[in-house]
């Protein structure tokens, strides 16, 4: 297992021994999106815990890139966080909160949420995360 160090915005770097299980780091073409997420998933050495890194990228001046890395005790808490708790709009400034921009803001939110959900599904597939029933 390697020593992995993950940068985080407004927090100390996270360092641990572990294995990278998968990542989704594809950059969309500029004509499709100027905002996107990259995701990484790791398993801690000798442990059932997981680490997920989430990086928000934006080409807009008023939206700085943001990075978080979180530790999860088990697969269930990791899946719950990525599918129901994390808000992909957390770092997005978007349009002014006025009636004039309401439709554009709603479309932006739909696109960001759909893209994030798609990337989470791809991360699970690349990492071998499955739900057993």
**83 vs 1, which has greater pLDDT?**
83
Residue 93 has pLDDT above 80, yes or no: yes
The verdict on residue 91 lying in a domain is yes
Sort residue 14 into left (φ over 0), alpha (ψ -120 to 50) or beta: beta
Residue 33 has pLDDT above 80, yes or no: no
The verdict on residue 103 lying in a domain is yes
Structure confidence at residue 119 as a pLDDT band (50, 70, 90): very high
Mean pLDDT along residues 40-50: 94
Domain that holds residue 62: 2-127
The verdict on residue 133 lying in a domain is no
Average pLDDT over the chain reads: 94
- Specify the 3-state DSSP secondary structure of 18: strand
The verdict on residue 122 lying in a domain is yes
The verdict on residue 12 lying in a domain is yes
Number of structural domains the chain divides into: 1
Q: What is the pLDDT of residue 62?
A: 86
The verdict on residue 132 lying in a domain is no
The verdict on residue 115 lying in a domain is yes
């Amino acid at each position: 297992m390697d020593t992995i160090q993950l940068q985080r915005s407004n927090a100390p770097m996270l360092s641990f021994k572990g294995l990278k299980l998968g990542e989704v780091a594809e950059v969309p073409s500029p004509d499709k999106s100027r905002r996107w997420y990259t995701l990484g998933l790791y398993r801690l050495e000798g442990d059932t815990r997981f680490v997920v890194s989430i990086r928000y990228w934006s080409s807009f001046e008023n939206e700085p890139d943001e990075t978080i890395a979180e530790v999860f005790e088990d697969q269930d808490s990791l899946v719950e966080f990525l599918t129901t708790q994390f808000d992909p709009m957390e770092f997005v400034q978007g349009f002014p909160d006025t009636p004039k921009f309401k439709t554009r803001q709603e479309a932006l939110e739909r696109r960001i949420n759909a893209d994030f959900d798609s990337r989470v599904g791809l991360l699970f597939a690349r990492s071998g995360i499955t739900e057993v029933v």
